[in-house]
Amino acid sequence: MFLRQAALLATAILPLSFAQVSEDFEGGWDEAAWPIYAPDCNQGGTVALDSTTAHSGTNSMKVTSPGGFCGHIFFGTTNVPTGDVYVKVWLKATTALTASHVSFITMPDSSQGEGKHLRIGGQNEILMYNRETDDATLPDLSPQGTATSKALAADTWECFEYHLGTDGSIETWLNSEAIAGLTTADNPNAGGWGTDNIPTITGVYFGWESYGGDVNTFWYDDIAVGSTRVGCDGGDSSPSSVPTSSAPAGTAPATSEPVSSGQSSSAADSSVPATSAPASSEPASSAPATSGPASSAPVTSGTNSTVPATSGTNSSAPVTSGANSTVPATSGPATSAPDTTMVTSVKPTSASSAPSPSTTAPGGGGTVPLYGQCGGKDWTGGTVCETGTCTANGEYYSQCLP
């Protein structure tokens, strides 16, 4: 008994660099652990727990957008390691990527400055990384660079994985196959990306953001964020030895897209290779954890619309593990055995059922949820934020921000 307690105590004080979170949403949507994220502006995007399709089990997270930059919305976690970061997510889109610039994963990146993001999405019909400060892309969106990436299939569950190294290196896999254009090692089509920037992310958020008006619906399931690679099946998945590409045939060079709210969309065209090399690790295994009761009502935010309240800060504690081993959080007591990885877990303190709506009807006032619109020229909806502060973003738009 004493040894077990000592083991749990030792694990509890391990550094956050070993943090690991995994979620399959079979226990519902814990809005405290996986909150809404929609800075800059938010008009009409929705996030909801969905049981019509899932990669495993019966539940997944559904994100819809009416199009346009202000239709963007994300959900995600701030429970990320402080060193190497590995992310795995199963995702499905109703529509394949087009020539327009979009993002479906966004990460606050302090290396770029306050409020800036490292983004993953697409342009030229292929997957790419995008750095917000200088609009650099990986790969370069030349015909040669475009050909080294891959496309997402429509209406198909696919496994997307990536690794951000402490030296600035990047590795990316789609359905367990490495993508040549989305790595920084030995990549002749990463000249625009360069080697000087080392991302320092503080969260990982999944959703949809369009810079040219594209509309799409994404589903996300079986998410894992940690310091080691877990693979598409949660374990025993080895990195592909040879990076591949499957870019659409005949893809044209990048095209300019309309830009709003100060966001830019441009393509670098360079063939100077990047020199940073990715860190490597052996895959480990993990199984998804579940959280609180289901939240079936979508969270929305829009102009003059009914808006359910959103959650507060992340309340779940990280699960810690040793090298090359990741173990999920559980709702019950942690256990340990000889020669096994020690685990601590904390049951979420707040899991949502149906959110309580607040309204912003024309002329009716009411409170506004976090990231909702709270003012602007000719605005007739609510002006009082449930949480955060109503902050002006130009003459025509104000938003409740943390």
**For 233-259, what is each residue's pLDDT tens digit?**
874 333 343 555 555 554 444 443 433
Give mean pLDDT, residues 78-91. 97
Residue 244: other Cβ atoms inside 10 A: 14
Query: What would the pLDDT profile of 289-345 be if each residue is shown by its tens digit?
Result: 444 444 444 544 444 433 343 333 343 334 333 334 333 433 444 333 334 333 333
**Does 353 score more than 80 pLDDT?**
no
Dihedrals φ, ψ of 111, to 5°? -70, -20
Residue 338: other Cβ atoms inside 10 A: 5
Q: How far, in Å, CA of 97 to CA of 365, rounded?
A: 39
In the chain, the domains with their CATH numbers are 16-304 (2.60.120.200)
Give mean pLDDT, residues 276-285. 39
Interstrand relation of 381-385 and 365-368 (parallel, antiparallel or unpaired): parallel
The residues pairing with 324 across neighbouring beta strands, listed in sequence order, are none
Q: How far, in Å, CA of 365 to CA of 360, rounded?
A: 6
| Exposure string over 183-205, b if 16+ CB within 10 A, otherwise e | bbbebbbbbbbbeebebbbebbb
pLDDT: is 122 or 14 the higher one?
A: 122
240 to 104, 177, 222, 244: CA distances (angstroms): 24, 5, 21, 9
